């Protein structure tokens, strides 16, 4: 990952986070670690790539649950309008006390489109993977 302007502690927190996908059965993605379940899901759905994005807590500023839920609904509505398949998930750090953030795994979203979408929702980072199924941390 190009760490850009992200503070090292944020890069570390994002890297340590468990990115849970509520598929059947659910699975967890971790940055830089092969995820066979993701690779299989993409193959099954003929997706060349996938992005894991949230609309919660723009620029890592905590908003109320109500504000965050409204933002997440806007994200999902925009994905539906674009005809993009997605699966709900939650990004949860195992120990830092930051609340889990509802997220979506979007199938078939290329790197640049994923970065643009995360940027539109004011996110500092996103998770992206190609057909190898190895999640990467990217900045918009």
Place of tokens 């993009």: 84
Other C-beta atoms lying within 10 Å of the C-beta of residue 106 = 25
Helices (H), 7-128: 8-16, 36-44, 65-81, 111-120
pLDDT score, position 4: 63
pLDDT, greater one: 9 or 50: 50
Mean pLDDT value across residues 68-95:
96
pLDDT score, position 5: 81
Model confidence pLDDT, tens digit, residues 106-116:
999 999 999 99
Question: In this prediction, what percent of the chain has a pLDDT beyond 70?
Answer: 97
pLDDT score, position 96: 80
pLDDT, greater one: 95 or 1: 95
pLDDT score, position 3: 46
CA–CA separation, 30 and 20 (whole Å): 9
- Identify whether the C-beta of residue 12 lies closer than 8 Å to the C-beta of residue 96: no
Model confidence pLDDT, tens digit, residues 2-23:
446 888 998 999 999 999 999 9
CA–CA separation, 16 and 47 (whole Å): 26
pTM of the model: 0.94
Mean pLDDT value across residues 40-62:
96
Model confidence at 1, in pLDDT bands (50, 70, 90)?
very low
């Amino acid at each position: 990952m190009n760490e850009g302007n992200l503070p090292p502690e944020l890069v570390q927190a994002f890297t340590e986070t468990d990115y849970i996908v509520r598929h059947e059965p659910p699975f967890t993605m971790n940055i830089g670690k092969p995820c066979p379940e993701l690779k299989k899901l993409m193959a099954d759905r003929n997706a060349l790539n996938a992005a894991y994005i949230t609309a919660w807590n723009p620029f890592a500023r905590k908003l109320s649950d109500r504000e965050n839920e409204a933002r997440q609904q806007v994200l999902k509505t925009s994905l539906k309008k674009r005809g993009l398949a997605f699966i709900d998930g939650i990004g949860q750090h195992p120990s830092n006390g930051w609340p889990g953030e509802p997220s979506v795994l979007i199938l078939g979203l290329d790197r640049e489109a994923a970065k643009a979408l995360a940027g539109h929702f004011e996110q500092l980072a996103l998770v992206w993977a190609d057909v190898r199924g190895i999640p990467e941390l990217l900045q918009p």
